[in-house]
Homo-oligomer: A and B are copies of this chain.
């Protein structure tokens, strides 16, 4: 397998965690988003969306991090990244989507650039926008986790799932942009537990071949 990704892309980070949890080896192909390599050949010919991550598995070319992780879970079922029961699967997917649809899309590079370049927003207002969506979005995740009987050491039970693969990169972003996190103690407890796990440690941006200071 080949993973086309960028060390700082949180969608890429999600897939790196899943691959590490499953113990799957892959070739790391860096795509430098800040330099715009996702818009140029050869990557642009591979990716109709011009987005990382892209996973190549044999003759399959897969996109969208959540779809890639579900594919990995279907093709390499052990250890499972989704519970066996439909309500549990729905809870894990909803937690993942609470981040992947409600927080992350508002804060990716092309959106921040549009705010500054097209709308003339100041750096201060741009950073306020970033923090607003992270802080309110994680508050919703906190309400989902706190006190729910299915929440364990991880988001759902005591083994990592898709939800943790999505949560951890979002917390890395939140920390990088100095977001408030003291209002989401359950989220942070899960995050800290994840960061004890070798797969999460190995997948983090600073361990990537294309990492920058």
Q: Which residues of A contact B (CB under 8 A)?
A: 48-51, 60, 62-64, 66-68, 70-71, 74-75, 86-87, 89-91, 93-94, 97-98, 100-102, 104-106, 111, 114-115, 118-119, 121, 125, 128-129, 132, 140, 143-144
Question: Chain B residues near A67 (CB, 8 Å)?
Answer: 89-91, 93-94, 97
Q: What is the minimal beta-carbon distance from A107 to any residue of chain B, in angstroms?
A: 10
B64 touches A89 (CB 8 A): no
B residues less than 8 Å from A94 (CB atoms): 62-64, 67
Asked if residues B119 and A125 are in contact (CB atoms below 8 Å), the reply is yes
Q: Count identical subunits in the complex.
A: 2
Assess A105 versus B101: contact at CB under 8 Å? Given A50-B140, A129-B119: yes
Distance, CA A125 to CA B75, complexed state (A): 45
Measured CA separation A86–B48 after assembly (Å):
20
Contact between A97 and B48, CB atoms less than 8 A apart: no
Checking B49, B98, B102 against A102 with a beta-carbon cut-off of 8 angstroms, the contacting residue is B49
In the complex, are the beta carbons of A70 and B97 less than 8 A apart? no
Q: How far is the CB of A2 from chain B (nearest CB, A)?
A: 15
A92 to chain B, nearest CB (A): 8
- Can you add 20 more A-B contacts, CB < 8 Å, to A105-B106, A118-B129? A48-B140, A49-B102, A50-B140, A62-B90, A63-B98, A64-B93, A64-B94, A66-B93, A66-B97, A67-B89, A68-B90, A71-B89, A71-B90, A97-B100, A100-B101, A102-B105, A105-B105, A106-B106, A118-B125, A119-B125
Residues of B within 8 A of A111 (CB): 106
A3 to chain B, nearest CB (A): 14
Q: Are A104 and B106 in contact (CB under 8 A)?
A: no
Q: CA–CA, A63 to B128, complex, Å?
A: 28
